[in-house]
């Protein structure tokens, strides 16, 4: 059995946000705005990485500036920028970090990300 590459420990953001939604808000319908809000919470709590699915390169850690200036939207979730930069399309998180997000959001029972998160920061 070969060595496990870091890339193989990652989960695409669209899959991770749906897993968090299912664990924390099972009674609510899935809405892209809610998944976007969950992605913003995830960005505040755990590292996020960009990757190229067509290349074997290791994923790149997204820095705080990118995460603060970007807004998650679209299907699948992408990080868009108001300053005209190209959106970051392939984003992932470490699979092992997802339970941390579930734990934090579960502590706020009855509160949904739709009603509690501020709007994304503007540049």
pLDDT tens digits along 2-45: 555 666 789 999 999 999 999 998 888 888 888 999 999 999 99
Strand positions, DSSP E, 13-69: 49-50, 60-61
The rounded distance, in Å, linking the Cα atoms of 74 and 98 is: 21
Strand positions, DSSP E, the chain: 10-12, 49-50, 60-61, 70-73, 78-81, 91-94
Q: pTM score > 0.95 for this model? A: no
**Domain edges within the chain:** 6-111
Judge contact between 19 and 35, C-beta under 8 A: no
Closest of 6, 101, 103, 98 to residue 61, by C-alpha? 6
Q: CA angle 15-17-20, nearest 5°?
A: 110
pLDDT tens digits along 59-105: 899 999 899 899 998 888 899 998 889 999 999 999 999 999 999 98
């Amino acid at each position: 059995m070969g060595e496990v590459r870091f890339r193989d420990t990652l989960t695409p953001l669209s899959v991770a946000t749906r897993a968090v939604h299912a664990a924390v808000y099972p009674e609510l319908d899935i809405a892209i705005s809610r998944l976007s809000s969950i992605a913003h919470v995830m960005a505040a709590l755990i590292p996020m990485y960009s990757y190229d699915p067509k290349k074997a390169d290791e994923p790149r850690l997204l820095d705080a500036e990118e995460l603060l200036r970007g807004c998650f939207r679209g299907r699948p979730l992408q990080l868009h920028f108001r300053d005209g930069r190209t959106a970051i399309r392939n984003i992932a998180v470490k699979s092992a970090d997802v339970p941390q997000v579930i734990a934090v959001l579960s502590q706020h029972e009855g509160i949904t990300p739709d009603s509690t998160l501020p709007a994304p920061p503007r540049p």
